[in-house]
Amino acid sequence: MRFRDLHLKLKGLRLRRIVWRINGGKRRRKIKKQPSWMNPVSHGYHVIDRRVIGGYCSDEDECDSVVIQREQRENTELWCFGIFDALIGDGVTKYMQSHLFQKQLKESHITRKCKETLKRAYLNVRAKMRSEDERMSHRIGSAVSAIVINGEKLMTAHIGHCKAVVCRDGVAYHTNPTAQQAPHWTRKLFKGMMTCESSDAGDRRQSRSSELAVRAERIDSDTEFLILATNGIWDVMKNQEAVNLIRHIENPNEAAQCLANEALNRMSKSNISCIIIRLD
């Protein structure tokens, strides 16, 4: 009996050793990173001058600015995209440049650092606006940004009436999760009683638009493209409408032009700027 027990124990040890070797091999394969060029990022943008819309903008300094920047560090590729109105200007870009792109960061810290720096960039610009001119305290500005890391991770931030929408397997998702929450049943029940509160609702919408939303998420196999756009787009079409309109267009420049022109055809009266980032 003792010899048989010893034999079984030896068999168990050999089995565990084989399993450990197999699992160890899998771990080593996971550690091996896929080159960033295996996950290509293509992009395009289009801006329609508000003077074309109807004389709303007579000063070039009042128009939106579009920023597209790429940084390469050893095994890490960073893409930074942004649309900023005249109030925000280049403040976010300058902050990101000095606090992120010019820093030597460890690869393991890059995701957390990108998210923190993006958030601080927006907060810093807002604080600076208020300190320079008290008259700007009620003006929040409008902007939207996105950072893509190695084609695998996505960070977005937006404030005001700009918005980022991601398309996954043909379905549009607002990158701010609170905006996707369905209305509570009590709101539907008492919808008729809320008409007298229209002014309060307008104040609440203004309050929500002034909130900074920052989000980080993974780019999976279902992620097709990302839309960054101003309210000139979102005032006249829903998220899914925008996705359906350009999903079949592989060239991101053509997709951005198509989206902007559709907003213009729908008589949008706000500034029209958009960036399309293809991730598939």
Would 57 be classed as within a structural domain? yes
Q: If residue 119 lies in a helix (H) or strand (E), which one and from where to where?
A: helix 110-132
Kindly state the DSSP code that residue 150 receives in the 8-state scheme.
T
pLDDT digits (tens, 9 = 90+) for 177-199: 554 443 443 333 333 433 334 33
User: Per-residue pLDDT for 26 more than 90?
Assistant: no
> Please, which pLDDT band fits residue 231 given cuts at 50, 70 and 90?
very high
Would 9 be classed as within a structural domain? no
Would 224 be classed as within a structural domain? yes
Instruction: Supply the pLDDT for residue 140.
Output: 72
| pTM for the whole structure | 0.74
Would 200 be classed as within a structural domain? no
The residue with tokens 């009620």 is: 138
CA nearest to 179, candidates 193, 195, 159: 159
Instruction: Supply the pLDDT for residue 129.
Output: 78
- CATH number of the domain enclosing 77: 3.60.40.10
Would 202 be classed as within a structural domain? no
User: Per-residue pLDDT for 230 more than 60?
Assistant: yes
User: Per-residue pLDDT for 207 more than 50?
Assistant: no
pLDDT digits (tens, 9 = 90+) for 235-253: 999 999 999 999 999 999 9
Would 27 be classed as within a structural domain? no
Would 28 be classed as within a structural domain? no
> Please, which pLDDT band fits residue 116 given cuts at 50, 70 and 90?
very high
User: Per-residue pLDDT for 132 more than 80?
Assistant: no
Would 25 be classed as within a structural domain? no
Dihedral class, residue 63 (left if φ above 0, else alpha if ψ from -120 to 50, else beta): beta
Residue with the larger pLDDT of the pair 59 and 51? 51
pLDDT digits (tens, 9 = 90+) for 159-181: 998 999 999 999 999 987 554 44
Residue with the larger pLDDT of the pair 124 and 137? 124
Q: What residue numbers bound the domain in which 260 lies?
A: 34-181+212-278
Instruction: Supply the pLDDT for residue 5.
Output: 53
Considering its fold, how many domains does the chain have in total?
1
Altogether, the residues listed in the chain come to a count of: 280
Instruction: Supply the pLDDT for residue 210.
Output: 66
